[in-house]
Structures are given as C-alpha cells and as structure tokens.
Amino acid sequence: MSGPYRQNVKVKNEQGMHMIPCSRIAQLVRETSCQVQIFRDDQVADARNILDLLMLKAEVGTSLVIESEGEGAESILAQIVKLFDDDFEILSEN
C-alpha cells in the first residue's frame, strides 16, 4: 500500500470534463486496483465511475484535487495529471 498521493489540476478543456475526458480517466483507473478520488471543493467523485466524474460538472478553469491510494498509486496519479496536461489527447491524437 502506498499513498495517499495528492495533486492539484486545472481543467484546460474548453468544454470542461465531458464524456471523453471522464471516460479516459475511468478507463485508466479501472486497469489498476488503486483507489482514486477527484475532489471539487467538498464534492467527491470515484474516478472509476464516469457518471460520478461527470457529476462534478467541472467546466474549463475549474480547480480539482486528485487523490490516489494503493498499489501503483503514484504512477497512476502521474498518468492522470498528464491526461489533464495534454488536454486528454483529444486533439493531439489527430
């Protein structure tokens, strides 16, 4: 067991945390056994659940806190942060 690890991120995507960003995060987390939570103020979402993530209603510019715990928690946190930094590879993949 390692963590919990914590990091702040800002939503860069113009459309906010919509279906595709949320599904990318969930997909990543579901491949691990980590416990990952994303906080927006006092609201919390289990990162495995797309619907939970969507319900954060994180629009562009929103500050979020990602918290991970469990085996490989540090690495998964880094990968999620990278997704945010790369704006979820939505455009770069083209």
Partner 1 sequence: MMIKQGIPVSPGVAIGPAFIMGNEDYRIPQRFVRIDDVEKELQRLDAAIEQVCFELGEHEELASDRLGKQYGAIFAAHQQLIQDPKMISEIRELIQDKCFSPEYATSKVLEQYAKLFQSLGNQYFAERSADIVDLQHRMLKHLLGERREDLSNLTEPVLILANNLTPSETANLDKKHVLGFVTEAGGRTSHTAILAGALEIPAIVGVGEFLSNVSGGEMIIIDGYHGELIIDPDEAVLERFTASRQRHFEEQERLKTYADLVPETRDGERITLMGNIEFPQEVEHCVERGADGVGLYRTEFLYLQEGKEPTEQVHYEAYCEVVQSMQGRPVVIRTLDLGADKIPGALEKVLLQNSNPMLGLRSIRLSLQNQPLFKTQLRAILRAAMLGDIRIMFPLVSTLRELRQARMLLSDVMEDLEDEGIEFRRDVPVGMMVEVPSAAILAEEFAREVDFFSIGTNDLIQYTLAVDRADPSVANLYSAGDPAVIRLIQQVVQAAHRENKPVTVCGQMSSEPRFLPLLIGLGIRQVSVTPAMIPELKEVIRNLDVKHANEISSHVSGLDSARDVENYLRGELHKICPAYAVDF
**Contact set with partner 1 (CB under 8 A):** 15-16, 18-20, 22-23, 26-27, 30, 46, 48-52, 54-55, 57, 59, 90-91, 93-94
- Inter-residue contact 83 to 24 (CB < 8 Å): yes
Residue placing its CB nearer to partner 1 in the complex, 8 or 27 = 27
Shortest Cβ distance from residue 4 to partner 1 (Å)? 21
* Angstrom distance (rounded) from CA 62 to CA 48: 20
Residue placing its CB nearer to partner 1 in the complex, 20 or 65 = 20
Shortest Cβ distance from residue 8 to partner 1 (Å)? 23
Residue placing its CB nearer to partner 1 in the complex, 8 or 63 = 63
Shortest Cβ distance from residue 76 to partner 1 (Å)? 16
* Angstrom distance (rounded) from CA 4 to CA 24: 21
Closest CA relative to residue 76, chosen from 24, 39, 29: 29
* Angstrom distance (rounded) from CA 74 to CA 70: 9
Q: Over the Cα atoms of the chain, what is R_g? A: 12
